[in-house]
Structure 1
Amino acid sequence: MSSTKAKPVGSTSTLARLWALVSREPVLAILVVALLGLQILHPRPWTALPALIDWQTVLTLAGLLMLTKAVELSGFLMWMAHRVVHRIHSERALAFLLIGLAAALSTLLTNDVALFAVVPLALSLHKLAPLPIKRLVIFIALAVNAGSVLTPLGNPQNLFLWQTSGVSFGAFVWALAPLCAVLMAMLYVLTAFMFRAEPLDLSGDVEEHRVDRTLCVVAAFAFIAFVALADAHHAGPALAAVAIGFLLWRRQVVLKIDWLLLLIFVLMFIVLRSAAALPLVHDAIANIGLNAPLRAYAAGAVLSQGISNVPAAIMLAEFSKDWRALAFGVSVGGFGIAIGSLANLIAVRLSGEKDMWTPFHIVSIPFWIVATAIGALLV
């Protein structure tokens, strides 16, 4: 009798673990299901799938994840933030500071890494002084989306478009600078209205934050060298040097990066390029006429609302070579509905606050509408 009862218990346990994985990583689960469905509808040899992946982009992303993890583990970001934050005097000034810090960090450390540095800081400050934490986290999410527009390192879609465009790092920054400036100006104006100028007491923040100076300095120099090599399209050798060096010296830098993010990115290339190759999809998007910059821009801004801006960039790049218009479109597409950018979902999850979705969309959707209109003028 005991053996017959063990089977359903084991099956239930397996299903529970599977459901837990799907709940934690819904994007990964959706991509796996989509890949299986595409292989049924439009089968390709499994050995041909790796050819659909833009390995230069994936290798660059892997290197950046390792280097930003090194900066994070050094403790420098928290050390810097806590010393700067004691110079402020009001709720509004705190919001200005955290938004500026989040935007600045996102230009070099990616929008996700910036969130992991700034949102925990905001939560710790909330323990020291009463703050409108939901509103603050929402604005930090908007800030990393706006700031990350500026550089190829700011977010995965910029990294992808930079690698596929073939332009230099400086040329990419110059092209995206006007949109970034407008988005940040809009955000600061909105912040001035949404946060009060009431005095803020942070005298209770006396925690000491140590910095691993050696790790911080090594990471900084390695970061500069890696970006230079990636810009010269040598991301593979650069990644090998970074990975081997840290595995021999500080292996946690390599072991603790978000490997699932890399897997998700790989699957996005395979799934979306396979989907784009379907005759029905190809004809539908081709008929839109994405060769016109404004249409490519509008497609990026709108499609991001349904599938997020990273997969939107990957898919639309199959139909338009106007990387600037696509970059503008998927950049503003990060606002609006939360799924527009994975950074939005990360910020909400990090906050630990309940009932965040309604206030988030009350702010983000109008912001997206205005940003989309202004972006269309800049394109």
Structure 2
Amino acid sequence: MPTAEHAIKPTRGLLLTIIHYVAKEPVLSVLVAALIVLQIFHPRPWKSLPSLVDWQTVLTLAGLLILTKAVEYSGFLMWLAHRVVHRIHSQRGLAWLLIALAAALSTLLTNDVALFVVVPLALSLNELTPLPLKRLVIFIAIAVNAGSILTPLGNPQNLFLWQTSGVSFGGFVLALAPLCLALMAMMYALAAVAFRPIPLDLSGDTEPHPVDRPLLGVAAILFVAFVLLADAHRAGIGLIGVGLGFIFWRPRIVLKIDWLLLLIFVFMFIVLRSVAALPWVHNAVGQLHLTTPLRAYAAGAVLSQFISNVPAAIMLAEFSKDWRALAFGVSVGGFGFAIGSLANLIAMRLSGQRGMWMQFHLFSVPFWVVGGAVGGWLLLHF
């Protein structure tokens, strides 16, 4: 007969495993700790917490994670990247190309996926010829933040604001296009100064990069279909089709997506909406009078510097329904301090380079200041 002690041991072991896993992820750890504190001092019925989550956004994000992982596993992105760089003959030209590649990929495949393609590409090219690697990675990080502004699929905050605003996919792109174009023009001007036209020899880049054509073709077709369903607010139906299809055909793709990101998103909705409902927080933010576009924009750009742009978008959406002003604000908020966008932290982690923090902020903070002024002017005049 198993004793109570024997029954407790597996449970205790599972609990310790969960605690150990959560402790390794600082963002999730902070969210879990915040939820515990909130439930102690301002408790809500546990059954009511799921209602705080914007499930349409979470379902859309889950589908996009599966599809972008399929495109990544097809090998097409790395094949394309290595083919393109052979046309480059200088450091400045390479920087311009990597900026364009990172920005373009981020518009459809999210800024995180773009980083997982372009940063490893820069690292592999650095093994062939000496490059200013730290500076390249910094510009790639800024590029994915700037390029991802253009579409609802570019980053999580855009995805959330698109789903909650009810605006069409095309309408969202047209609204954000002026800011994206202005910031990309700033990037190229800055890159022209930061990188010199030193000759490069990349002829040694001859390693083959095979492409899984069936996987790429299926992923491309499903990608278009899923975006159309998400645009019609039927992301759940799209996720069922995409998820079941890949589970039976290529289960590794579903197993390897960033499940932690989905969990973090769920906790973000619960914690931030609970915080926003606290009387003193509601009154404090209410004092900011976010009834004008410029105030909502400034709040998004500044708050992102302290809690990152995704949480800032979720929190401020409780106080302002001007989705375009919020999108402008949290987009600009991705620059400045590294915490402004999780993409910044991912890029520096992928690079494996030491001593990047100071150099990153030497570029990113001035970019935030100038970009903030440009974004405010565009918001009022376009």
Equivalent residue letter for 2:117: A
What is the SS of the residue equivalent to 2:130?
Answer: coil
Q: Which residue of 1 aligns with 2:167?
A: 167
Q: CA deviation at 1:24?
A: 3.7
What is the SS of the residue equivalent to 1:89?
Answer: coil
In structure 2, distance between residues paired with 1:349 and 1:330 = 22
Counterpart mapping for 1:173-252 below 5 A: 173-252=173-252
In structure 2, distance between residues paired with 1:31 and 1:375 = 30
What is the SS of the residue equivalent to 2:287?
Answer: helix
In structure 2, distance between residues paired with 1:298 and 1:15 = 42
- 1:345 equivalent in alignment to 2:365: no
In structure 2, distance between residues paired with 1:311 and 1:295 = 18
Q: Mind listing any 5+ residue stretches in structure 2 that lack a counterpart?
A: 1-12
- 1:68 equivalent in alignment to 2:68: yes
**CA distance change for structure 1 residues 22 and 240 in 2, over 3 Å: closer, same or farther?**
closer
In structure 2, distance between residues paired with 1:27 and 1:127 = 33
Counterpart mapping for 1:110-189 below 5 A: 110-189=110-189
In structure 2, distance between residues paired with 1:111 and 1:287 = 34
Q: CA deviation at 1:291?
A: 1.1
Equivalent residue letter for 2:328: F
Q: Which residue of 2 aligns with 1:318?
A: 318
Equivalent residue letter for 1:222: L
In structure 1, distance between residues paired with 2:202 and 2:153 = 33
Equivalent residue letter for 1:43: P
**CA distance change for structure 1 residues 179 and 281 in 2, over 3 Å: closer, same or farther?**
same
What is the SS of the residue equivalent to 1:110?
Answer: helix
Q: Which residue of 2 aligns with 1:36?
A: 36
In structure 1, distance between residues paired with 2:310 and 2:17 = 28
In structure 1, distance between residues paired with 2:259 and 2:146 = 25
Q: Which residue of 2 aligns with 1:262?
A: 262
What is the SS of the residue equivalent to 2:353?
Answer: coil
Equivalent residue letter for 1:203: S
Q: Which residue of 1 aligns with 2:286?
A: 286
In structure 2, distance between residues paired with 1:56 and 1:368 = 31
In structure 2, distance between residues paired with 1:128 and 1:56 = 45
Q: CA deviation at 1:353?
A: 0.3
Q: CA deviation at 1:204?
A: 1.3
Could you list the per-position Cα deviations for residues 272-326 of structure 1 after superposition, in whole angstroms to 9, with x for gaps in the alignment? Answer: 0000000000000011111111000000000000000000000000000000000
In structure 2, distance between residues paired with 1:326 and 1:237 = 28
In structure 2, distance between residues paired with 1:32 and 1:23 = 10
Q: CA deviation at 1:329?
A: 0.1
Question: Identity percentage over the alignment?
Answer: 74
Could you list the per-position Cα deviations for residues 341-376 of structure 1 after superposition, in whole angstroms to 9, with x for gaps in the alignment? Answer: 000000000000011100000100000000001111
What is the SS of the residue equivalent to 1:228?
Answer: helix
Q: Which residue of 1 aligns with 2:375?
A: 375
**CA distance change for structure 1 residues 174 and 208 in 2, over 3 Å: closer, same or farther?**
same
In structure 1, distance between residues paired with 2:341 and 2:190 = 20
Could you list the per-position Cα deviations for residues 165-188 of structure 1 after superposition, in whole angstroms to 9, with x for gaps in the alignment? Answer: 000000000000000000000000
In structure 1, distance between residues paired with 2:172 and 2:209 = 36
**CA distance change for structure 1 residues 94 and 19 in 2, over 3 Å: closer, same or farther?**
farther
In structure 2, distance between residues paired with 1:234 and 1:291 = 31
> TM-score scaled to structure 2, two decimals?
0.94
Q: CA deviation at 1:15?
A: 12
The number of equivalent residue pairs is 367
In structure 2, distance between residues paired with 1:24 and 1:183 = 35
In structure 1, distance between residues paired with 2:251 and 2:332 = 37
Could you list the per-position Cα deviations for residues 134-185 of structure 1 after superposition, in whole angstroms to 9, with x for gaps in the alignment? Answer: 0000000000000000000000000000000000000000000000000000
Q: Which residue of 2 aligns with 1:89?
A: 89
In structure 2, distance between residues paired with 1:375 and 1:226 = 31
Q: CA deviation at 1:203?
A: 1.5
Could you list the per-position Cα deviations for residues 4-61 of structure 1 after superposition, in whole angstroms to 9, with x for gaps in the alignment? Answer: xxxxxxxxx9999889646641000000000001111110011100000000000000
> TM-score scaled to structure 1, two decimals?
0.95
